Amino acid sequence: MKVLFVVGHWLFVFFNKQQTTKEQITNNKAFMPIIDALLVITLALLVGVLIRGSTKNRQQQLEESFNRQQLEDAFYQLLQEQGSCISLIELTAAARVDVQQARQYLERQVQLFAAVPEVDADGDTFYRFPKLHKRSSVDKST
């Protein structure tokens, strides 16, 4: 409530271009409806901006979560299909995400799994990850 009074006081001073006291503002009834209307409009705009921002944040979170899942699925599928060698372009194409997102994901995986960067004969960089070994049914029973 004190904030509203301060804002109202500032508006009153701004429009009258003179210094006033608290008593002068409360005694001048002509400007109070204008100040109240301006405060209500300002608060309504602020609430609208906050609601719109939270909706965008939620949509952005959902999109990032979906992209992360796409990257994970594509990454492990490529590990299996490509003999543990993955390039950035392969991951980006398989996951169908932005190159920057794929690069960040791949760099994180390279650090986690201690992958080794290699360059093929064409000059393309790919990363060699530890091989996935499938356990045979004999290994599982012991």
For residue range 33-83, what is the model confidence (pLDDT) as tens digits? 777 777 888 888 888 777 777 666 778 888 888 989 999 999 999 998 988
Residue 60: the pLDDT is: 83
User: Which residue would you say has higher pLDDT here, 46 or 19?
Assistant: 46
Looking at the chain, the whole-number percentage of residues with pLDDT higher than 70 is 69
DSSP 24: H
DSSP 130: P
Q: Residue 17, Cβ neighbours under 10 Å: how many?
A: 6
Task: Name which of 29, 132, 120 is nearest 78 in CA terms.
Answer: 132
Residue 86: the pLDDT is: 94
Which residues does 115 contact at the CB level (< 8 Å), separation at least 6?
109, 127, 128, 129, 130
The stretch 8-21 carries a mean pLDDT of: 59
